Amino acid sequence: MGNQGIISCYTLQSRIESLQKLNTEKLNIVVIGAGASGLAFALECIQLGVEVRIIDKRVSRSTTGKATGVALGTWNQLKKFGISSENIAAAIPMRNFVFHDDGKLVANIFVPSLNDHPPAHLYPQSLLEQQMEKALNIRGVLVEYGTGISHFESIDKIVRVTLQKGATIHSEKIEVDWLIGADGAHSTVRNIAKLPFIGRDYPEKWSVAEIKTDLWPNDVQAQLFLQSNGVGLFLSQPTKGIVQGILNSPEVVDKLKDKFPDASILYSREFSVSLRRVSTPRVGRVWLIGDAAHVQSPVGGQGLNLAIWDGITLAESLLADKFDVEQRLIKKAKKVLLFTDFDYRMLASRSVILRSSRNWFWSVAAKYPIIAKWFFKLISGV
Ligand SMILES: Cc1cc2nc3c(=O)[nH]c(=O)nc-3n(C[C@H](O)[C@H](O)[C@H](O)COP(=O)(O)OP(=O)(O)OC[C@H]3O[C@@H](n4cnc5c(N)ncnc54)[C@H](O)[C@@H]3O)c2cc1C
């Protein structure tokens, strides 16, 4: 038996032990927020035989475009719930990435495979979340929409939570063993816990839009158009015939119309970007995961992937009484924030020296894919 066999036997054994333990001890867990991090946490709980409630203040799932890149590490984690890139015909493998600076082609990068798999697939976050919610429904858990949290207090080993339902503000008081704040960047759980969100805001206004077009080149999955003034346009194709543009400036729609004269705009919006995290994701029996615990720039495509990693990792460890998970969550968030900030600084740099070293690196990486491998390995999360 190879190492992998030993590891999976070990994992199976420890899962069985945690399940046996949990059968004697009924836990009450409520997850606030049914985005990627909350769904991932709930799925892992159910997989381990632990019941969970999951609520969301929205009346239904959002279909607004956010992330378009799903990393290999994320697919690996979701496989046990029946969600895999192999089963989803619409997931587009990341094979080619084209990079321009001031209108000139810098590199056409053939994205290297990792263990015979592409490091990421293009697939819209909203569809991935739909798949995760469906997997949860099949396992008997329904997201309680139209339900928010208004208050909680920790008393000894329980958390008393007040939920708010519907427009009439009907409230429900419950007692839980664990409260999971997966309620996004403006987290109510984080605010009630009075946890500072340390970091800074990027000064630029960003914009995102999606268009329908027939002019996207078939053999490319992502394109980057940088400029010496620091403005960068990132284009990707989350679904055949649809292109998403993200710009670190408000005029993404104009840029898309310039590049795709046949564009019909599906939606557009402005947003701001921050680099912030909580110093610890845990206060007593309350945990924060996903954007509630850390936010970063969309450059490097890490937010969705980290949110899912947080959810699954926390559920696995919490249910097995492995509290070193607090440090693991902190370490991973720090690493991702550093990486995305570095990436953004490099892409938006106006320094002639930095821009030429960056362009030189990518033009060499385009010729020798082995050089690009470390970067795509980081993105892949494996
Ligand atoms: C334009 C854009 C592009 C991006 N591109 C990428 C990318 O390519 N790759 C990538 O990995 N990431 C990307 N991201 C980041 C990614 O979208 C987020 O990191 C991810 O959505 C975080 O998931 P989450 O579950 O933590 O939070 P969210 O997705 O924000 O979900 C939080 C949920 O909590 C609910 N909620 C909020 N408050 C309450 C409350 N009080 N009570 C009950 N429910 C509540 C909300 O309704 C929501 O459903 C992008 C983000 C943006 C904006």
Residue with tokens 């293009």: 122
The mean per-residue pLDDT over the stretch 14-20 comes to 46
Tally the residues of the chain.
382
278, 291, 302: residue to mutate for ligand 1 pocket, most atoms within 8 A of CB:
291
Evaluate: CB of 297 within 6 angstroms of ligand 1: no
Q: Is the pTM of this model over 0.85?
A: yes
Answer yes or no: is pLDDT of 20 > 60. no
For ligand 1, atom 15: residue with the closest CA: 303
Of all protein residues, whose CA lies closest to atom 35 belonging to ligand 1?
Answer: 33
Contact present, 278 and 266 (Cβ < 8 Å): no
- Ligand 1 within 6 A of CB of 71: no
Are the C-beta atoms of residues 251 and 207 closer than 8 Å to each other?
yes
Residues with Cβ within 8 Å of 348's Cβ and at least 6 positions away in sequence, in order, are: 226, 230, 231, 232, 248
- The answer to whether residues 162 and 148 touch, using CB atoms and an 8 Å cutoff, is no
Q: Is 238 in the pocket of ligand 1 (CB under 6 A)?
A: no
Is the shortest distance between the CB of 188 and ligand 1 below 6 Å?
A: yes
Is 182:35 a contact under the CB 8 Å cutoff? yes
Residues sharing a CB contact under 8 Å with residue 113, sequence separation 6 or more, in sequence order: 119
Q: Is 44 in the pocket of ligand 1 (CB under 6 A)?
A: no
Write the pLDDT tens digit of every residue in 285-326. Answer: 999 999 999 999 999 889 999 999 999 999 999 999 898 999
In the chain, the largest separation of any two C-alpha atoms, in whole Å, equals 65
Ligand 1 and 330: CB distance under 6 A: no
Cα distance between the two ends of the chain = 22
Cβ of 61 less than 6 Å from ligand 1:
no
pLDDT tens track for 238-250? 999 999 999 999 9
Q: Would you give the distance in Å from CA 143 to the centre of its chain?
A: 19
For domain 3-380, is the CATH number 3.50.50.60?
A: yes
Which element (helix H / strand E) includes 326? helix 325-347
Summarize pLDDT for 111-126 with one digit per residue, the tens: 989 989 999 999 999 9
Q: Is 192 in the pocket of ligand 1 (CB under 6 A)?
A: no
